[in-house]
Amino acid sequence: MSELTISTQNYLKSIFLLEELGEKVSTTSLAGMLKVAPASVTGMLKKLNRDDLIEYQPYQLIHLSESGRVAALQVIRRHRLLELFLTETVGMSWHEVHEEAERLEHVISASFLDHIDRLLNFPRADPHGSPIPDRTLILPERHCQPLSKHQPGEVLQLTEVMDEDAGFLVYLAQLGLRPGQKFNLVEIEPYEGSFILQTDTGQIRLSQKAASLIFVERIQEN
């Protein structure tokens, strides 16, 4: 892993994350996620293909090879464990840790990571609810979908939120929405499509955009 450049690690991670979101991985979607020009992505994809980290033909969808998937999972494990360490142990807020983890994920040693893992008692999710691959790189299973795909009347639990936009995380915290929060999806308003949620403590009105960036699981009504 250490011989892969930071840029290579970021490409593999981004391909994995797009696949995890159920999106088709193309030059365009990857360029959007990495915030670089599609032309520079094409050059890098050819290199990753030569190094057997991805399977790639021009104009076709991109897939990770087995070794590319292992490398991506290692970066994701470091990223998510670091985020939890930074919130739980260092005391940072959940909107501050993504940027730090983006840098640190490329430099910390395997030994430091193992210490964090043990210190935090082998956690299965980061502060944003994203699953942490274990030491053998097995990801905890999930069955969640964006809130925007659900219907009024459903009882739901928030499992995960997209963590890249600090402003979005501040917005969710102000609304009192965190992973683990249970609520009833009461209504989707016509026209603007705001989502009205009923929690134990009150009603929350969430924009349609926000509803597409948080992931929920259906739970049994009781």
For binding to Zn ion (CB under 5 A), which residues are involved? Answer: 98, 163
Decide whether 49 or 171 has the Cβ nearer to Zn ion.
171
Smallest distance from Zn ion to CB 181, Å: 19
C-alpha pair distances (Å), 170 with each of 93, 166, 210? 9, 6, 12
Rounded CA separation 197/199 (Å): 6
Decide whether 117 or 163 has the Cβ nearer to Zn ion.
163
Smallest distance from Zn ion to CB 111, Å: 22
Contact 53, 62 (CB under 8 A): no
Q: Which long-range contacts (CB under 8 A, 24 or more apart) does 219-222 make?
A: 219/155, 219/156, 219/157, 219/182, 220/155, 221/155
Smallest distance from Zn ion to CB 157, Å: 21
Decide whether 78 or 98 has the Cβ nearer to Zn ion.
98
Helix (H) or strand (E) holding 218: strand 214-218
Smallest distance from Zn ion to CB 82, Å: 9
Residue keyed to tokens 């494990």: 77
Decide whether 160 or 183 has the Cβ nearer to Zn ion.
160
Burial class of 28 by CB neighbour count within 10 A (0 to 12, 13 to 18, 19+): exposed
Question: What residue spans of the chain are helical by DSSP H?
Answer: 6-20, 27-34, 38-50, 66-88, 97-104, 110-119, 166-175, 208-213
Smallest distance from Zn ion to CB 55, Å: 26
Decide whether 56 or 94 has the Cβ nearer to Zn ion.
94
Decide whether 180 or 193 has the Cβ nearer to Zn ion.
180
Smallest distance from Zn ion to CB 8, Å: 19
